[in-house]
Amino acid sequence: MTDIKALFSSEWMPEALIPARPRLLIVDDQPVNIQVLYQIFGKDSEVFMATSGQQALEVCRQKSPDLILLDVVMPEMDGIEVCTQLKADPETHNIPVIFVTSQDSPEEETKGLEVGAVDFITKPVNPAVVRARVKTHLTLKVQADALRTLASIDGLTRIPNRRLFDDRLAGEWRACRRANTQLSIIMIDVDHFKKYNDHYGHLEGDTCLKEVANVLRDANWRGRDLAARYGGEEFVCLLPETDLDGALTKAESLRTALENLALPHAASTNASCVTISVGVATIYPKAEDGVAALLGAADEQLYKAKQGGRNRVEGCDLG
């Protein structure tokens, strides 16, 4: 997991984020070959071993290694097939794979790189070379993870952004449809925020948005829930496997948590402190194109909350 705090620091050094003991998976049907690599990495890394392709896939899913050293020629499932399967699975496709093989023909190498390997090392391995290559690919992995994290985190509030929310909403829509369970979203808008900016200035406005984001981040969420900044002074929360009652209760607790912070808002016409209006919508995901209807319904409920006097929660069940 990328260290978000370190990532936003101006002194960020990718190498500093390489785990102190990287987790390596060594795959080879010949234990003697595993032994050779273990002698190179065993001291400074946590090493997992597999002697077949099938076992390698299982270890990968259970242990999430940082990098895999993978033999090509193995009985039953060869390295090419293992790599192909790893790259097709969202859980494992970001793990770098280095092929370690005695077959060093350009055709073999090309095939390995085409199925997603990052490098190719020939046996017998040279310890200094293999160590250097592993370090290079661990550094690149840390950089790629960091970029993925940066692309999904809102720069001001440091909570997930709309891009991550949209991705997760699409995934949870499919998951709840398969499981035939309800999916709820909570749409939140800070009340009279234009007046807040006009009265206190834009920088104070930014600080206020960070406070709202903190309330969302610190709310006691369930495992698959997600709270994100949707844009401007709007936030959104995703609650898979949650019915309307559950989502309304959560929305109300967010509204009160912010109200209890009692952040002064002298320019507000509905309260003396910063408040939020909240729209909730719940659905049994059915058609593929229903996501827009769910978002639209939550937005309508938010509008109703604004019209009803702000600092309140409204919700609807789309069935």
Ligand X SMILES: Nc1nc2c(ncn2[C@@H]2O[C@H](COP(=O)(O)OP(=O)(O)OP(=O)(O)O)[C@@H](O)[C@H]2O)c(=O)[nH]1
Which stretches of the chain bind ligand X, using CB under 6 A? 156, 189-195, 197, 202, 205-206, 209, 232-233, 306, 310
Q: Verify whether residue 233 is a known catalytic residue.
A: yes
Exposed / middle / buried, residue 155 (Cβ in 10 Å: 0-12, 13-18, 19+): exposed
Identified catalytic residue from 233, 234, 300, 314: 233
Whichever of 71 and 191 has its CB closer to ligand X, that residue is 191
Whichever of 173 and 196 has its CB closer to ligand X, that residue is 196
Chain center to CA of 256:
28
Whichever of 105 and 269 has its CB closer to ligand X, that residue is 269
In terms of Cα–Cα distance, which of 185, 180, 193 is closest to 233?
Answer: 193
Q: For residues 100 and 237, what is the distance between their CA atoms, to the nearest angstrom?
A: 45
Q: For residues 145 and 248, what is the distance between their CA atoms, to the nearest angstrom?
A: 35
Which amino acid makes up residue 192? H
Q: For residues 45 and 136, what is the distance between their CA atoms, to the nearest angstrom?
A: 15
CA angle 150, 154, 156 (to 5 degrees): 120
- Nearest to ligand X by Cβ — which residue? 205
Closest distance of CB 264 from ligand X, Å: 16
Whichever of 123 and 195 has its CB closer to ligand X, that residue is 195
Strand-strand pairing, 67-71 and 97-101: parallel
Active-site residues: which are they? 233
